[in-house]
Amino acid sequence: MRVLGIETSCDETGVALFDSQRGLLADALYSQVAMHADFGGVVPELASRDHTRRLLPLIDEVLGTAGLDRRDLDGIAYTAGPGLVGALMVGAATAHGMARALEIPVLGVHHMEGHLLAPMLEDDAPAFPFVALLVSGGHTQLVEVLGLGRYRLLGESVDDAAGEAFDKAAKMLGLDYPGGPQIARLAERGDPKRLRFPRPMTDRPGLDFSFSGLKTHTLTAIRQLDATGALDDQARADVARAFEEAVVDTLVIKCRRALDASGQTRLVVAGGVSANRRLRERLEQECAKRGARAYYPRGRFCTDNGAMIAYAGAQRLLAGERDSATMLAVPRWPLADLTPPANSPLPQ
């Protein structure tokens, strides 16, 4: 089955073509980061309009790369949520319009299920079951995954997601949006011994996260350094290092607890923050201690992309799922609400 995947949940327009026998045939991505950087974050109206401009040319580009025509498609998958409602509607309307014209099935896909299954696109893909750390600008969750659609939420952020905290800390330090890569680059020059920030919610049982207190602590440290005239370039790097290490330590501690509590030996890490080098190094060390293994999508599939939507959509379309005539755009959609398809092509 050849499935076109469309991702328009936030500030990246992603399109990909997945073949259930041959794998990923082509993918393309347009990032709006430069457009939103002037505002220090995503402007929803601008995001929606840019998706409208970029989506159809990207579809043509992907089909051209694969050497296929729209009539060669067997199904279309699109991100139905969670995300910015206007941006979601661009992808949903395009997918439904094309599917109706081509008389093929169409299906709205959960954005986080796409991230969760993104490592399945790799040659050395994880097998079910596993624990997944979904860590991005909008979500920080630990999920036990028993099969397609069989998800048990173990813990999540009660306030800011880790990626959102990176963005806010970067803004405090005068760095550009998005903050994660900027903080990571600056932290490389930081002194790990100068400052130590708290590891929130690690001094109590449980698998939930909270990063708002760490954000406040970071702002206080910056103001104190500034008040004493010590906020120079090295001090900014030291703050970035302390902040990054606090986030990474917190994520690693919670992953360790999740593996121990679930008894699983496979850890999937996906979402934009999964590209962080320090996080990967620490998780590799932690998994090695436990005889476990960590899996990640390739770099370009860590952030939002069409390939993960094409893959996740293909699995459910193959099992017979499809939308009715009504398109879906669900800005808030808990992952735990998903259910397995009746005839899943993947192990249950």
> Would the pLDDT of 47 be above 70?
yes
| Cα–Cα distance, 317 to 294 (Å, whole number) | 28
CB neighbour burial string for 144-163, b if at least 16 within 10 angstroms, e if fewer: bbbebbbbeebbbbeebbbb
pLDDT exceeds cutoff 90 at 138: no
* Average pLDDT for 324-334: 95
Two tokens, residue 348: 């249950």
- Residue 36, pLDDT > 50, answer yes
Average pLDDT over residues 5-21: 97
pLDDT at 40 over 90: no
Confidence class of residue 346 from pLDDT cuts 50, 70 and 90? low
pTM (predicted TM-score)? 0.94
pLDDT at 110 exceeding the cut of 50: yes
Half-sphere exposure (Cβ direction) of 10: Cα atoms closer than 13 Å:
17
E strands in 112-211? 130-135, 140-147, 150-156
- Segment 164-185 mean pLDDT: 94
Per-residue confidence (pLDDT) for residue 345, from 0 to 100 = 55
Measured from the Cβ of residue 177, the count of other Cβ atoms closer than 10 Å reads 19
Confidence (pLDDT) at 137: 82
Question: What number of other Cβ atoms are within 10 A of residue 7's Cβ?
Answer: 32
Residues 49-80 pLDDT 10s? 999 999 999 999 999 999 999 999 999 999 99
For residue range 290-324, list pLDDT tens digits in order: 999 999 999 999 999 999 999 999 999 999 999 99
**pLDDT exceeds 60 at position 109:** yes
pLDDT in tens, 271-282: 999 999 999 999
- The helix/strand/coil state of 142 is strand
**Which residues have a Cβ under 8 Å from the Cβ of 170 and sit 6 or more positions away?**
176, 177, 178, 179, 180, 182, 183
Q: Which of residues 348 and 300 earns the better pLDDT score?
A: 300
Q: State the average pLDDT for the chain.
A: 95
Q: Tell me, rounded to whole angstroms, the distance of Cα 190 from its chain centroid.
A: 27
pLDDT for 97 equals: 98
**What's the whole-number mean pLDDT along residues 321-329?**
96
Reported as a single tens digit per residue, the pLDDT across 198-253 is 999 999 999 999 999 999 999 999 999 999 999 999 999 999 999 999 999 999 99
- Banded pLDDT at 348 (limits 50, 70, 90): very low
Position 295 scores a pLDDT of 97
Question: What is the rounded average pLDDT of the residues 76-97?
Answer: 98
C-alpha 303: how far from chain center: 5
- Whether the per-residue pLDDT at 142 is higher than 70: the answer is yes
